[in-house]
Chains A and B, each alone.
Chain A
Amino acid sequence: MLDMMIMQAGNGLALGFLYVLIALGLSIIFGLLGIVNFAHGVFFALGAYFSLTLFNLMGWWGIPLALVIVCVIGMITEVLLIRRLYDKEPLISLVVTFGLALLAEAVIRAIWGPQGQPFSAPAWLNGVIIMGPFIIASYRVAIMVCAIVILFGFWMFMNFTPFGRVLRAGSRDPQMVQLLGINLPHVLTGTFGLGCLLAAIAGFLAAPIWTVAPTMGTNAIMPAFVVVTIGGLGSYAGAIVAGLAVGLVQSLTIQFLPEASTAAMYMLMAVVLLLRPRGLFGEQWERFE
Chain B
Amino acid sequence: MNHDKTQPFLMTGRRRLLGVAAGAATASTLAMPHIARAAEPIRIGLLQAKEGSIAVQAQYLQQGTFLALEQLNNELLGRPAEIVWDDEPSAQGAGQNALQLIQQNKVVALLGGSLSSDALAEEAVAGQHKIPFVINNAAAEEITGAKCNPYTFRLQPPVPVQAAAMLPYLQSIGKRWYFITSSYAFGQDIASSFKKLLAGIGGTVVGDDSVPLGSSDFSSYILKIREAKPDLIIGGLTSADLSNFLKQWKQFGMSDKIPFTEIAVGDTDLWAVGKDNVAGTYTTLWYYKDPNNSPSDKAFAAAYQAKYNRPAADKAWMGWYSAKILFQAINAAGSTKPDAIVEALQNWHEEDGGITVHFDKWNNQLVHRFLVVGVKKHIPDNWNYFDVLRSIPENNEAAEKAFGTAADSACHMTPL
Contact = CB atoms under 8 A, between A and B. Distances in A.
Interface of A: 4, 7-8, 11-12, 14-15, 83-84, 86-87, 89, 96, 99, 102-103, 105-106, 109, 113-121, 123, 125-128, 135, 137-140, 170, 174-175, 178, 184-185, 208-216, 218-220, 250-251, 254-255, 258-259, 261-263, 286-288
Interface residues of B, number: 60
Contact of A84 (B5, B9, B313): B9
B336 interface: no
26 contacts: A4-B224, A83-B6, A86-B5, A87-B1, A87-B7, A87-B10, A106-B30, A116-B56, A116-B271, A118-B275, A120-B277, A125-B251, A126-B253, A127-B253, A140-B219, A175-B5, A185-B8, A208-B247, A213-B240, A213-B272, A214-B55, A216-B216, A216-B240, A219-B240, A261-B212, A262-B215
A263 B27 CA distance: 30
Nearest to A177: B5
A272 B271 CA distance: 41
A258 B211 contact: yes
B244 interface: yes
B67 interface: no
Given A87-B7, A114-B60, A185-B8, 14 more contacts: A11-B219, A11-B223, A14-B219, A15-B217, A115-B56, A115-B59, A116-B273, A118-B271, A174-B4, A213-B56, A215-B51, A258-B221, A261-B212, A261-B215
Interface in B259-293: 268-269, 271-277
Interface of chain B, helix or strand or loop or mixed? Answer: helix
Contacts of A263: 212
Given A118-B273, A215-B240, A261-B212, A184 B5 contact: yes
Contacts of A178: 4-5
Interface in B111-136: none
A149 B60 CA distance: 41
Contacts, number: 178
Contacts of B7: 87
Contacts of A127: 251-253
B334 interface: no
B324 interface: no
Contacts of A185: 8-9
A175 B220 contact: no
Given A137-B251, A262-B212, A116 B2 contact: no
A14 B268 CA distance: 29
A178 B212 CA distance: 49
Contacts of B224: 4, 254-255
Given A128-B252, A209-B251, A114 B227 contact: no
Interface in B36-58: 51-53, 55-56, 58
A7 B228 CA distance: 14
Contacts of B203: none
Interface string B52-77: 11011011100000000000000000
B384 interface: no
B59 A114 contact: yes
Contacts of B175: none
A118 B5 contact: no
B251 A126 contact: yes
Contact of A174 (B5, B10, B183): B5
Given A127-B253, A259-B210, A211 B240 contact: yes
Q: Shortest 9 CB-CB distances between A and B: which pairs?
A: A116-B272, A118-B274, A174-B5, A86-B6, A114-B59, A254-B220, A87-B6, A211-B243, A262-B212
Contacts of B313: 115
Interface string B151-167: 00000000000000000
Contact of B268 (A116, A121, A261): A116
Interface in B193-246: 209-212, 214-217, 219-221, 223-224, 226-227, 240, 243-244
A211 B238 CA distance: 13
Nearest to A106: B30
